[in-house]
Structure 1
Amino acid sequence: MVPRPRPRPRPSPGQTYHSSILIRNQPPYPSIFHISLSLSHSLYNYNYNYNCCVHCDSGIPTVFEPYWRRMGDKCRVVIQGCDLMSYRATTTNLCWYLLPELEEAIRRLHRVVGNAVVDERHVVVGTGSTQLFQAALYALSTPAAAAAAPQPINVVSAAPYYSCYPDETDYLCSRLYKWAGDANQYDSKSGPFIEVVTSPNNPDGCLREPVVEAHGQGKLIHDLAYYWPQFTPITRPADHDLMYFTFSKCTGHAGSRIGWALVKDREVAIKMTKYMDLSSIGVSKDSQFRAAKIMELLCNNYDQKLGSNFSNNFFEYGKSLMAERWKSLRDVIGRSDVFSLPTFEQQYCCFFGRLSQSYPAFAWLRCKEEIEDCGSFLREHKIEGRSGRRFGADAKYLRISMLSSDDVFQQFLERLSAIKILNNAN
């Protein structure tokens, strides 16, 4: 049974709580929202009891919470009751709901990091990368293309692929597109297709390229959610026709639900924006405003010389933290004859200006041959991950999140070590 979160203190007169938002109702009573980035640990710490499972399934990036707590008021935003009331933004951008502040922040951030080409690209903002994926499928599966094909356009991705692609593709039972599985097994002569290229890949952290020969019939979506310096070396600016990123993996702010696509073709960008219009009439301006503020802070910190203030440089902090976690995990795995992990070669990182290692957001754990189902085996030891079958791979594999809070990750390591001890004892 999951323990209840600790109760909050009672609000003082004139204050009410809603989630992490403190609402101060002060004369003359227009509501002013003071949004603090310091979320309560009680929202995430569910693993106090050793009899409960340690949940390493989700990719919720609470690992970065201490950094943002340390930033304090530097990221605080104040939104008055009369602000941001319109669906539309004051912009001539084809993405009509995109705040100019956010567009500027996105372009600046990519130029600072050097992980994507932003010149001559249209920015389309969505409610996380999940909505952008749907919008991209809609835009690339045009009615004209659908009319030319007797069947919905096939959507493929090389296994192991992101576990949610099949469900997200087929959820609406669209007549425009359908999930067709592993791109490695797809025959491009079967007709038009869309290949989703995830790089670095979720779940195994490998850098990816397209695998299907297009023959003039294929279109590409590049999911670059994890192409940030804390996870992988930035080898070059990504330069693709349609590529998208997500705020949740860039900075850890999954709850803001902000993602953005960089789109070369104007007509594709217009169709993606149309999808946003029909599905949600744009994207929350409150979230856009907060995201722009946080991106601005990231860039301002890097106007200083890289490495001059380690604690304030988010990507240096994030990389150091991920490196420490991966070292701890590899130390445990190295003492075990039960599990193995993939290895990654060092590459030159243009952002850090030196050879760098990959520290993916997920560990692609493999059990030894005698264990048929890694997920079931670890569940017996109170560790919950995501089965390799969900990713189009073998059940011997299990995806483990490296992004959990410190206490959850520590419990995971302790339980994994105990499995090794029990195994040696037998």
Structure 2
Amino acid sequence: MAKISSTVFSLRHFLVLSLALNVSLILRIVYEGEEGHDNSCLKNETGNSISRADFDTKTHNILKSRVVMSSTLSSGNSTCKYHTGSRNKVINLDHGDPTVYERFWRQRGDKSTIIISGWQSMSYFSDVSNICWFLETEFAKEVVRLHTLVGNAVTEGRHIVVGTGSSQLFLAALYALSPQHSPQPINVVCASPYYSSYPSMTDYLKSGLYKWGGNADSYEKEGPYIEVVTSPNNPDGHVRRSKVNRSEGLLLHDLAYYWPQYTPISSPADYDLTLFTLSKTTGHAGMRIGWALVKDKEVAKKMTKFIELNTIGVSKDSQLRAAKVLRAVSDSCEEENSQEGESFFKFSHNLMANRWKQLREVVDSSQLFSLPQFSPAFCNFFNQVVEPQPAFVWLKCEGNVEDCEKFLRAHNIITRSGKHFGVSRKYVRISLLDTDENFNQFVDRLSTIQSL
């Protein structure tokens, strides 16, 4: 009996000792993990730890401020947790992939969900009485409703032409505006810095109808021309007007960013031909849906013919889903004061405002970079004065840095060089439309770049 008791007693002690050791190990791992998180926010680009006593006070305050704002935006997730062991991670902000709005659409649940039955969308045709015969009626209805609600474009007396994104519509517009029997291709111009894809898109097929003519600011050739006016401009965010202003000129307005989250809505755009895209309006780039508002009937016919020959129309499924998304946006604006929550444009405006605030704090604390300055203006949609907050950052490297893209790439930040936009390499375009995680890491890393 004594032997049995001794065995039981020893086994119990062994179990207690084992439990104590496991708890101790777990606590040590947790402690070291938390310590690692803290230190990860206080390391320089070489990987060496920086003591809090030596840490630059202004930069530290910026980081603290950003943690608070990031926590608000990310439902309590602190910024530091994103950065553990991420100094070597490549942050690619070259593309304008608008994943920034995903959180809003997740919060809205099934408000934008659509079910398409197997028998739907089988025909090529949507409305044969319409110039754009593949345009879905529901999509056209929601386009008009949203423009009317926001007040950013005149839709009355306009023909709607739907395209596979505004890229296809851009080419369709060049085709429709070009003289069909001219001995020389018409020049397409745009003031620099211009959207980097305009030259390559214009010249890619080596069309005999049109060709890239360069910077509108320095264009002096006689004869007809097409001027592209992007407003707000991609990449620098400024409001644009035509530059050449000659009687033989034809204007194409790209208004992809003329929405309340990016710029004050001063008046409805009233031009002959304007382009819009769902990707920058609501963030749904993957649907590949854009639309043009066209005043001239013959131009609308030619654009439709181009798309007919190019892709035999535009996906009905995408149009139906886009209609549901646009309806959800309009509904959110009308329901804003109800229990349904804030509108899409209020959500996206606040989000962009927070990102620009964080970025300006970091840039202002550095002598290496500078940002464009914008003038606040009254926004008819928000019924108050607001400041422009573009979708892209047009960042300039100051001092002796001649190639800003190369300089930032050395810090594992991928951007797009100013050379692609017709200007100096001292500039880069950086997307502000990426995920919270990538944006937070970008701002954190930019704040640690203190010298060349």
Partner of 1:393: 423
- How many pairs align? 370
Q: Answer with 67-76 or 222-231: which moved more.
A: 67-76
Deviation of 1:332 after TM superposition, in Å, equals 0.5
Pick from 182, 193, 206: which aligns with 1:160? 193
1:180 partnered with 2:213: yes
1:65-93 residue CA offsets vs partner (Å, 9 max, x unmatched): 00001111111100111110111104521
1:169-228 residue CA offsets vs partner (Å, 9 max, x unmatched): 0001000000011000101x42211000000000000000000021x2110000000000
Deviation of 1:350 after TM superposition, in Å, equals 0.5
Counterpart CA distance in 2 for 1:351 and 1:121 is 22
1:116-163 residue CA offsets vs partner (Å, 9 max, x unmatched): 00000000000000000000000001314xx2xx32100000000000
Partner of 1:235: 266
Partner of 1:407: 437
Partner of 2:173: 136
SS in 2 for 1:195: strand
1:22-53 residue CA offsets vs partner (Å, 9 max, x unmatched): xxxxxxxxxxxxxxxxxxxxxxx9x9853232
Contact 1:91 / 1:100 at 8 angstroms: preserved in 2?
Answer: no
1:171 partnered with 2:208: no
Contact 2:332 / 2:340 at 8 angstroms: preserved in 1?
Answer: no
1:208 partnered with 2:243: no
- Structure of higher CA gyration radius: 2
Aligned-pair RMSD on alpha carbons? 1.5
Amino acid at match of 2:116: I
Partner of 2:106: 69
Contact 1:310 / 1:316 at 8 angstroms: preserved in 2?
Answer: no
Pick from 217, 221, 229: which aligns with 1:197? 229
TM-score by length of 1: 0.85
Report which of the two has the higher share of helix: 2
Equivalent residues in 2 for 1:251-400, closer than 5 Å: 251-304=282-335, 311-400=341-430
Pick from 153, 156, 159: which aligns with 1:119? 156
Contact 1:91 / 1:99 at 8 angstroms: preserved in 2?
Answer: no
Matched-pair identity in %: 55
Deviation of 1:310 after TM superposition, in Å, equals 8.2
| Stretches of 4+ aligned residues off by more than 6 angstroms | none
Counterpart CA distance in 2 for 1:308 and 1:56 is 36
Counterpart CA distance in 2 for 1:384 and 1:369 is 20
- Shift of the 87–123 alpha-carbon distance from structure 1 to 2, 3 Å rule, reads same
Amino acid at match of 1:177: Y
Counterpart CA distance in 2 for 1:256 and 1:274 is 22
Q: Answer with 203-212 or 307-316: which moved more.
A: 307-316
Partner of 1:226: 257
SS in 1 for 2:208: coil
Unaligned runs of 5+ in 1: 1-44
Contact 2:333 / 2:345 at 8 angstroms: preserved in 1?
Answer: no
SS in 2 for 1:156: strand
SS in 1 for 2:115: strand
Unaligned runs of 5+ in 2: 1-81
Contact 1:183 / 1:211 at 8 angstroms: preserved in 2?
Answer: yes
Contact 1:90 / 1:99 at 8 angstroms: preserved in 2?
Answer: yes
Counterpart CA distance in 2 for 1:335 and 1:369 is 15
SS in 2 for 1:312: coil
Amino acid at match of 1:52: K
Equivalent residues in 2 for 1:57-96, closer than 5 Å: 57-96=94-133
Counterpart CA distance in 1 for 2:86 and 2:238 is 35
Contact 1:235 / 1:350 at 8 angstroms: preserved in 2?
Answer: yes
1:282-322 residue CA offsets vs partner (Å, 9 max, x unmatched): 10001000000011111122223x55568430000000000
Counterpart CA distance in 1 for 2:447 and 2:331 is 42
Contact 1:310 / 1:317 at 8 angstroms: preserved in 2?
Answer: no
Counterpart CA distance in 1 for 2:374 and 2:337 is 24
Deviation of 1:415 after TM superposition, in Å, equals 1.0
Counterpart CA distance in 1 for 2:399 and 2:340 is 43
TM-score by length of 2: 0.80
Amino acid at match of 1:282: G
Contact 1:226 / 1:249 at 8 angstroms: preserved in 2?
Answer: yes
Counterpart CA distance in 2 for 1:310 and 1:241 is 37
Amino acid at match of 1:361: A
Partner of 2:281: 250
Q: Answer with 283-292 or 83-92: which moved more.
A: 83-92
1:315-363 residue CA offsets vs partner (Å, 9 max, x unmatched): 0000000000000000100110000000111100000111011010000
Counterpart CA distance in 2 for 1:151 and 1:369 is 44
SS in 2 for 1:96: coil
Partner of 1:217: 248
Partner of 1:21: none
Contact 1:64 / 1:318 at 8 angstroms: preserved in 2?
Answer: yes
Counterpart CA distance in 1 for 2:242 and 2:301 is 25
Contact 1:276 / 1:282 at 8 angstroms: preserved in 2?
Answer: yes
Partner of 1:110: 147
Counterpart CA distance in 1 for 2:112 and 2:362 is 37
Report which of the two has the higher share of strand: 1
Counterpart CA distance in 1 for 2:219 and 2:339 is 49
SS in 1 for 2:355: helix
- Shift of the 351–256 alpha-carbon distance from structure 1 to 2, 3 Å rule, reads same
Deviation of 1:229 after TM superposition, in Å, equals 0.2
Contact 1:307 / 1:316 at 8 angstroms: preserved in 2?
Answer: no
- Shift of the 309–176 alpha-carbon distance from structure 1 to 2, 3 Å rule, reads farther
